[in-house]
Chains A and B, each alone.
Chain A
Amino acid sequence: MGVDIVGLARPPGLLEISPDLARVPDPRDFADADQAVTALYQAHAVGLIRLAFVMLGDRPTAEDVVQEAFCGLYRRWSHLTDPAKSLPYVRSAVLNGCRSVIRQRARRDGRVAAEPPAASAETDALIGEEHRAVLAALRLLPPRQREALVLRFFLDLDEPEIARSMGISRGTVKSTVSRGIAALGQILGEDR
């Protein structure tokens, strides 16, 4: 095995594409629902947990939402007409799960935009103040704008994929992202 020497002195590199996002298993390759859903989970769970984490600000709940989305996919597997659409399906399920959690929190706390649970000290230390401000600002956006921005910038989806995940047209995606950016800039006090 060769040795790759690594030091610590240079500024960070570009955003790395996680291997789990680069791998796209075809559900049709698997014999049954267990194998197909498990393979899809292994390939996409981390990305979807990140998505739910940004939406909810709370990793345990984010993991629960993603688990439930895949469980829903598993329950409905036999009814899927096209297994290739399982990823957009589960992505939509995660977004729906996040909306449910936000509604539950709002009902429970008597507020429209309920705060997420306090982040752990570890999460705080890892994310840093600058990024916590951006995440907090995202959570103040209207749900649609928030989802569009998260899918665009955090999952790096293109407009057709965002449209499929959110159940809206491509034109609406474009305008929603644009309005979301503007609103975010206002919240963060940034002129564009």
Chain B
Amino acid sequence: MNTLEDRLRATAQAVVDVIPAGSAPPLHLAGPQRRRCRGGRLRLSGRRGWADWIAPIGAAAAVVAVTAVSLAATHGWLRPGEAGAAAGPAGTPAYYVSVASSWHAGGDAAVKSTATGRTLARVSAPRPFSSFTLVTAAADDGTFVLAAQGAAAELRDMQRSPGLVRTQPIALNALAAASTTSATWATNLPGMAADDLQQQMTSRTTVTQFFMLRIDSAPSAPRLSALPVPLESQPVTGAALSPDGRKLAVALASPGQLTIQVITLATGSVRTWRGETWKTPSLQPDSHPSINTLSWTADDRMLAFDWQGPSTEKPGQHVPLDLSVSELSTNAPGSNLAADSIPVFPAGYLIHYPGNAIVAPDGKLIIGSPLSGLVPNVRPTDTQYSTHSPYTVRSLWNFTGSADRVLWTNATGSVLIIATGFGSRDGMVGVLTRRGLIPLRSLGVPYSALVANSGEIAW
């Protein structure tokens, strides 16, 4: 094959990446479009006759409308979010939500446009919660779940206030506005009596409550509602909303124990899996093994989770961090995390800088590592990763940079959003396709926070 034909075929592949399978707009054969199909002729770029003057007038009207919306948003005439946002690059979602608790005082959540980085709305944690600490998203580009943290003592005091209904369960769709007042919120607290709080929590205990945030395509502000999930007093290290938004997986950590809860949001029912780990008392508290990244397959049945920590218990010694990935069948019986999950990417391959791993809805496991792209220590011949079936490691793109953290994947793993730039001063987030990296500007979250923490941002 000669060079020119190679170049033509390579260009054809580039076009395939720009216009991927499944990206065709719907065919309009019904309604007005059908009338157009039957009688009319589609006018393309040639403007003749009435189109010569109607088009500029239409364009001018559009400019006026856009300017009005922009001015309205700027001056507060419209609520945030009403202007909407275009889809992100390469088919990425239009919206993302970031939380700021680890790097910025206040702990608000910001709804932003992927394409421009512009803040479309800002949501504060309702009292008595002080900050949002974690966010996860469904696949519909509009449903998010936020974890809010607050002091148990303050929550207890509010529960005891006269006139508040302390044990009234909250309906999933009983939505409160983003600017929810504390009183409105307090009447909707999920069922935990004040006396129970008194008994279970000390004044210094921190509790976590989950909220659902919805962004409508219609011009309205994002809506925040408390989920019918019990307050959580253990540290939440990770969470993942299933692609259809029906289930929420939550990872909890305490010394010596890993816990995953799967909550069916329609009913509030909770299933729990627990696994014992070693304790490392001589190391920093946050170096205990913990589950950071959770992700679902499209059918809501398989949950992939990575967990990181010192690979062995060696009190008093420095031991490298390690990454291990397992999958859990959430429909199967059982409650033992170790016995009921299948290791698909064992410990011992990614050490020191373990990165993270998420499963694409179609089942591909995307493993990020700061060292030379992904899975640098895995050889293609190392295929036996599971006692149940062999899983072959294969590589996708010619991406030579680091993929410090995989933040989002499309349904097939062909488009990713990653944090990259490990070891350089120019850490950044970008959309990774086979053709390269498209930087996402004005993300609003420091690179260091993105890499160090799980759940700071979600698409």
Contacts and interface: CB of A to CB of B under 8 A. Distances in A.
Interface of A: 1-13, 15-16, 18-20, 34, 37-38, 41-42, 45-46, 49-50, 53-54, 59, 61, 63-68, 70-71, 74-75, 97, 100-101, 104-105, 107-108, 122-123, 125-128, 130-131, 134-135, 149, 153-154, 181, 184-185, 188, 190, 192
Contacts of A68: 41-42, 44
A192 B1 CA distance: 11
B293 to A, nearest CB: 14
Nearest to A184: B4
Nearest to A114: B45
Given A6-B396, A7-B394, A15-B12, 5 more contacts: A7-B366, A63-B25, A108-B45, A126-B433, A154-B12
Contacts of A11: 398
Interface string B394-433: 1111110001000000000100000000000000000011
Nearest to A19: B21
A95 B360 CA distance: 37
Given A8-B403, A15-B16, A125-B436, A3 B367 contact: no
Nearest to A154: B12
B3 interface: yes
24 contacts: A3-B359, A4-B363, A4-B391, A5-B344, A5-B365, A5-B385, A6-B360, A7-B366, A7-B373, A7-B396, A8-B399, A8-B432, A12-B434, A15-B16, A49-B23, A50-B19, A61-B44, A67-B25, A71-B36, A108-B45, A122-B89, A130-B11, A135-B11, A154-B11
Given A46-B24, A190-B3, A8 B16 contact: no
Contacts of B22: 20, 46
A123 B29 contact: no
Interface stretch (B130-138, B224-232, B296-304): B296-304
Nearest to B363: A1
B42 A71 contact: yes
Interface in B286-337: 297, 299, 301-302, 304, 327
Among the interface residues B18, B20, B398, which one has the most CB atoms of the partner chain A within 10 A? Answer: B18
A8 B396 contact: yes
Query: Looking at chain B, what size class is its interface with the partner chain?
Result: 35 or more
Interface string B86-130: 000110000000000000000000000000000000000000000
Given A41-B24, A67-B27, A53 B392 contact: no
B438 interface: yes
A7 B395 contact: yes
Interface string B1-40: 0111101111111111111111111011100010011100
A128 B435 contact: yes
Contact of B14 (A41, A67, A131): A131
B199 interface: no
Given A128-B436, A154-B15, A5 B394 contact: yes
B455 to A, nearest CB: 22
Classify the interface of chain A: helix, strand, loop or mixed: helix
Given A3-B327, A5-B345, A153-B5, A125 B15 contact: no
B18 A7 contact: no
Given A5-B365, A7-B373, A126 B44 contact: no
Interface in B355-405: 359-360, 363-367, 372-376, 378, 385, 389, 391-399, 403
Nearest to B12: A154
A20 B20 CA distance: 10
B14 A46 contact: no
Nearest to A72: B37
A11 B20 CA distance: 19
A10 B396 CA distance: 6
Contact of A2 (B24, B363, B396, B413): B363
Nearest to B91: A122
Contact of A127 (B14, B301, B327): B14
A188 B4 contact: yes
A126 B375 contact: no
B160 interface: no
Among the interface residues A66, A70, A125, which one has the most CB atoms of the partner chain B within 10 A? Answer: A125
Contact of A125 (B304, B385, B438): B438
